[in-house]
Structure 1
Amino acid sequence: MELLFSLFTIIILTASIVYVLLQDWQATANRLFTLFTSGSLVLSIAGAVRYTSRNSTEIRLLSGLLISLLAAIFGLFVWLIMIVFMPHRYRQPVVRWAAIAPYVVMAVFLAIDWYGSFGLVGGDVFREEIGRLSFVRGPLFWSALILYIIGCVIVPIVMLVTIAVQHPKMRSLALWLTAGAALTLVTGFVFRELGMVTLTYVSLLPLHVVFGWVVIRYGVFRPSQIALQAAVENLPDGVLILDANRHVRFANRAAQRIMPACAGDGQAFEHVLAESGFHEQTMAEDQERGRRRFARAADGKIILASEVAISDEQGTSSVVLLRDVTRSERQQAELLTSRAALAERTAELERSLAELQQRDALLRRLTLPIIPLSETVLLVPLIGAFDPDRCQTFIDLTLPKIAERNVRTVLVDLTGLTVFDQDLARALRQLSDGARLMGAQVALCGIRPDMAAVMIHTGSTWNGMRSFATLQAGVKALLANTAMVGA
């Protein structure tokens, strides 16, 4: 009977491993379940062999494996609870290893105590009256047993009960596993009290049977279920599922952060919004985009809700996507304010630039005075140094004056120049050509020897341009000539 029950257990565990791996062998949860079930499978086989063997060495080796493996299996069970119900905690290495560390320490300690023959927890002693090894309790046996009950029974059950209480959507799954863990404890105790020691090590079967039921009923280890749950739970946007009566049936962690009131089961969506302090402020732009806007006055939070209706054989439900746009809205407002300030600053700079240009034009005019000597004669004294820009300004100011006053002669005084270079010489030739086309001529006065040398090296022809030694001589000659023409 015991052998048949052990064989049945091995078949069930093997089938569970194959089924879960066929679902998705690459998923972490599936691999962890496989490791947990494989440990139980090895435990069942080793237990059956240990209690049917007559070889003392073989029995001793298997006994040490059994007590250590049992602690490791329940450590994997705690991990399995975390990855199924608390995947965000399982992904935190510190939390994950802190949860399994006591079980690893227990398994290592039991193995060292057993194989080192220290006998702190207990050991096998050969009894001649029965002709086989018998377990003798050590000084730490009851302490180890209490730790075993706490870590391998109470802790997993407390975790599952807590999950069932705090997460109503997972209540059925957690309660099923709680019942399986409790039944495992009861069957192990009953088998040991009845003297069916071999079956003690297959007492994990109820837990695995329950796991098989929830795998089929709830699809825990299906790729789509695991991937969808992980993706939805880790989305930065809130996701709500509403039933036909618009009651919240699911809310991921982001939605619960935005609206803590949606953590309760079965509340109406509008009621959850009001309880969380949100009031609708949907604008025309939002309506065009098929979304609703809600704001909370307490902290200025703004969320956008987009809703999609889904119809199936069970009726019509809705999926609501909540996006917290508080930061983006504030940044957009700050950007608009910055743009307005930038536009105002740009306008001020443009006004300042216009004023500077006006002042610059005034300064150019002041540094290039054009003095009428008569109705047909203009005097243009050049003072200081002339760069290419100032040379162009000189031409631009003089030619319009020639046309405006119908001038016949422009007397350019070079006495005040500090530098005379080829740029200014070229500008004088251009002014002379322009004036000649307008029926006027250009005369020069105050030419120094260095200026004459530059004029010669320009390669231009200066023969057609009158020149005078001094300003007085030029003014006198031109005015006299004007008087003669007038007479």
Structure 2
Amino acid sequence: MNLILILLTLVVLTTSGVYVLVQDRHATPNRLFTFFALSMIILTGAAAVRLTSRNLQEIWFVSGMLAPLLAASSWLLIWLILALFIPHRYAQPSVRWSLAAPYIIMTTLLTLDWYGSFGVVWRDVIHSDTGTVVFSRGPIAFPTLMLYIFGGMIVPLTFLTTIAIRYPRMRAPALWLTGGAAISYVAGFLFGSLSLPVLNYVSLLPLHLAFGLVTLRYQVFRPSSVALRTAVEHLPDGIVVLDTQRRVRFANRAAQRLVSLTDAGDMPFEDALARAGFNEQTSPDESDRDLRRFHRDGEVATTLVVSEAAIEGERGSASVLILRDMTTVEQQKAALAASRAALEERTAALECSLKEIQERDALITRLTLPLIPLSDGVLAMPLIGAFDGARCEALIALLLKRIEERSARMVLLDLTGITGFDESLAAALRQAADSARLMGAHIALCGIRPDIAESIVHERMHLNSVRLFATMQEGVAALLGHNR
């Protein structure tokens, strides 16, 4: 069981270290994690040798490695937390080495104390009758243990808790690492108190598992250059890297598809474009936005828009170009312009048709509401067909306009040709009579059929001020005689 736990710890540490190192072997956090995992692998391996060996010399040698390795792993853990969550502080050498100094001093003193046989902190191992291996404490063993508890446990937990509080974006991974570290430290203390050395050495497994979780779930370590290159290769836009002489040094798949650069050799990028049949057509507006446009005619026309970013280096200025295929966009823009022109023509045609309809409606209104001058000051208007709200409004407007134009005093409205008499027409006649009276004219009605008379009574229309005639002939004769 002891060997199984140790083996599990070694597998987890090795897998985590290799995975993070493969992500990016040049990144500082990845390297620090690898060193941290390596220190814990050596610590676990030394613990395995100490527990399984029967050679006193081997036991003595590996026992001296345990305490310094714990101090060194705590030092690397502090640096790793800084590099992952507070990189601007890790970049300051004074801060970085100030935090590392106590751990370096402790590692050095513990190593010298053991292998120099001073016995100030720990003394040689003692084999008891039961076969167990124990340390003999020196005079400053307890203060050293307190320093390790403070520097190796409290300080990392304080760092992680502070990060989780002050940096919301990093809160989730910091909390996972805080929980893993807390469980590991509590487990190590309990197993040490219960004299379970094997479990004590594997108690840091929760912390390693927490690192594995935040690595897989939150991607706290930088991806590898292989992964970045793969991502660049699958971008829809072309990516081209030029050297200081503007020669092509890298082109992804999209760039190779747009412009064949495999045979470009040492020619500049612009010459490679010209060889591929592209001509520059950059507009002043695009030039102001640091863009360049290239176009190639042919069976399949191609338009490229190139944006450039300079990279300053010791040997000069290199460049990274982004090539975007605007052919589809240009085609869509042309189709949109054609659709807009067709829409404008259609709109103009509709407006012309609407104007014709309005003129026709006006003509129909004039024809269906004819005003016949009988004499000076006397007009006759036959009403024909059905009258809805619009025709009633047109009737009132036309009637009042003609009264004003001809200074009419009497208007005879013939109801013989209407097809129905409803509330809207009754209201229109009442409004016409009142309005005409205000203008000094009077309204007379003729041609009232029985159904119309019944509707007038039903609508309770008051016709006290309106003269009524049976037929239009009677009304015309009466009005003309009255006018004379």
The TM-score with structure 2 as length reference comes to 0.55
For residue 479 of structure 1, what is the aligned residue in structure 2? 480
Question: In the alignment, which residue of structure 1 is the partner of 2:290?
Answer: 290
Paired position in structure 2 for 1:318? 319
Compared CA separation, residues 310 and 19, structure 1 to 2 (3 A): same
Deviations 1:8-34 (CA, angstroms, capped at 9, x unpaired)? xxxxx999966532325799xxxxxxx
Q: Is the 8 A contact 1:425 1:458 kept in 2?
A: yes
What's the offset of the Cα at 1:291? 0.5
Q: State how 1:48-197 maps to structure 2 within 5 Å.
A: none
- Note the C-alpha offset of 1:422: 1.7
The Cα offsets for residues 302-347 of structure 1, whole Å up to 9 and x where unpaired, read as 0001111110234310001100000100110111111011101111
**Residue 261 of structure 1 contacts residue 275 of structure 1 at CA under 8 Å; is this kept in 2?**
no
Q: Establish whether residue 446 from structure 1 lines up as the match of residue 447 from structure 2.
A: yes
Amino acid at match of 1:452: A
Task: Count the aligned residue pairs.
Answer: 279
Partner of 1:229: 229
What are the residue-to-residue correspondences of 1:355-434 with 2, within 5 Å?
355-434=356-435
Retained in 2: the 8 A contact 1:302–1:325?
A: yes
| Residue number in structure 1 paired with 2:308 | 307
Runs of 4+ in 1 over 3 A off after TM superposition: 13-19, 24-27, 262-267
Offset, 1:459 = 2.6
Instruction: Measure, in 2, the Cα distance between the counterparts of 1:368 and 1:346.
Output: 32
Partners of 2:24 and 2:222 within 8 A in 1 = no
Residues 252 and 25 of structure 1, relative CA distance in 2, 3 Å threshold: closer
1:340 aligns with 2:341: yes
Separation of aligned partners in 1, 2:222 and 2:440 = 100
CA distance in 2, matches of 1:448, 1:19: 107
**DSSP-derived class of the 1:423 partner:** helix
Once the 2 structures are TM-superposed, how far is the Cα of residue 231 of structure 1 from its aligned partner? 1.8
Kindly report the root-mean-square deviation, in angstroms, between the aligned alpha carbons of the 2 structures: 2.5
Native 8 Å contact 2:382 2:413 kept in 1: yes
**1:20 alignment partner in structure 2:** 18
CA offset digits 1:256-306 (Å, max 9, x no partner)? 000113465543201210121111111112112210000111231000011
Provide the rounded CA distance (Å) in 2 between the counterparts of 1:337 and 1:234: 34
Counterpart of 1:258 in structure 2 is 258
Cα distance between partner residues in 2 of 1:26 and 1:391 = 85
The alpha-carbon distance between structure 1 residues 464 and 247, as it changes in their structure 2 partners (threshold 3 A), is same
8 A contact 1:23–1:222 mirrored in 2 = no
Mapped partners of 1:405, 1:18: distance in 2: 104
Q: 1:25 to 1:226 in 2, by over 3 A?
A: closer
SS at match of 1:407: coil
Contact 2:264–2:272 (CA under 8 A) maintained in structure 1: no
CA distance in 2, matches of 1:330, 1:274: 23
How many angstroms apart in 2 are the aligned matches of 1:374 and 1:263? 100
**Structure 2 portions without partners, runs of 5+:** 1-10, 26-220
The AA in structure 2 aligned to 1:463 is N
Change in CA separation of 1:395 and 1:18 when aligned onto 2, cut-off 3 Å: closer
Question: Counterpart of 1:427 in structure 2: which amino acid?
Answer: A
Q: Is the contact made by 1:377 and 1:407 (CA closer than 8 Å) also made in structure 2?
A: yes
Checking the alignment, whether the CA contact within 8 Å between 2:24 and 2:225 is kept in structure 1 is: no
Question: Residues 381 and 412 of structure 2 are in contact (CA less than 8 Å); yes or no, is this contact kept in structure 1?
Answer: yes
Cα deviation, residue 389, structure 1: 1.4
| CA drift at 1:255 | 0.3
- Cα–Cα, structure 1 residues 419 and 14, in superposed 2: closer, same or farther, change >3 Å? closer
- Residue 56 of structure 1 corresponds to none
* Contact 1:23–1:223 (CA under 8 A) maintained in structure 2: no
Identity score, percent:
53
User: How many Å separate the matches in 1 of 2:15 and 2:479?
Assistant: 119
**Quick one: distance in 1 between partners of 2:398 and 2:319?**
78
Q: Is the 8 A contact 2:24 2:224 kept in 1?
A: no
Change (3 A) 1:354 1:321: same
Whether the aligned pair in 2 keeps the contact of 1:244 and 1:316 (CA below 8 Å) is yes
Q: Aligned in 2, Cα 1:26/1:292: closer, same or farther, shift over 3 Å?
A: closer
**Residues of 2 paired with 1:16 and 1:247: CA distance?**
43
For the residues of structure 1 that align with 2:307 and 2:462, how far apart are their CA atoms?
84
Distance 1:350 1:397 in 2: 26
User: Matched residues in 2 for 1:14 and 1:425: separation?
Assistant: 96
Deviations 1:338-361 (A, max 9, x none): 101110111111011101110110
- How far apart, in 2, do the equivalents of 1:410 and 1:477 lie? 12
CA distance in 2, matches of 1:22, 1:368: 93
Contact 2:237 2:324 in 1 (8 A): yes
Structure 2: how far apart are the matches of 1:350 and 1:463? 47
State the Cα distance separating 1:371 from its structure 2 match.
0.2
Q: Quick check: 1:249–1:266 contact (8 Å CA) kept in 2? A: no
Check whether the contact 2:251–2:261 (CA below 8 A) recurs between aligned residues. no
Are the equivalent residues in 1 in contact too, given 2:23–2:224 (CA < 8 A)?
A: no
Three-state SS of the structure 2 residue aligned to 1:420 is: coil
Assess if the C-alpha contact under 8 Å between 1:308 and 1:320 holds in 2.
yes
Q: Give me the whole-angstrom Cα distance separating, in 2, the residues matched to 1:388 and 1:328.
A: 52
CA 1:463–1:286 in structure 2 vs 1: closer, same or farther (change >3 Å)?
same
- 8 A contact 1:300–1:326 mirrored in 2: yes
Contact 1:24 1:222 in 2 (8 A): no
Question: Structure 1 length as normaliser, TM-score?
Answer: 0.54
- CA change 1:226–1:409 in 2 (3 A) is same
For residues 111-147 of structure 1, what are the alpha-carbon distances to aligned partners after superposition, in whole Å with 9 as ceiling and x for unaligned? Answer: xxxxxxxxxxxxxxxxxxxxxxxxxxxxxxxxxxxxx
> How far apart in 2 are the matches of 1:329 and 1:264?
27
- Counterpart of 1:373 in 2: which secondary structure? strand
CA distance change for structure 1 residues 295 and 26 in 2, over 3 Å: closer, same or farther? closer
- Unaligned residue ranges in structure 1 (runs of 5+): 1-12, 28-220
1:254 partner amino acid = A
What residue is the counterpart of 1:215 in the other structure?
none
Aligned to 2:269: 269
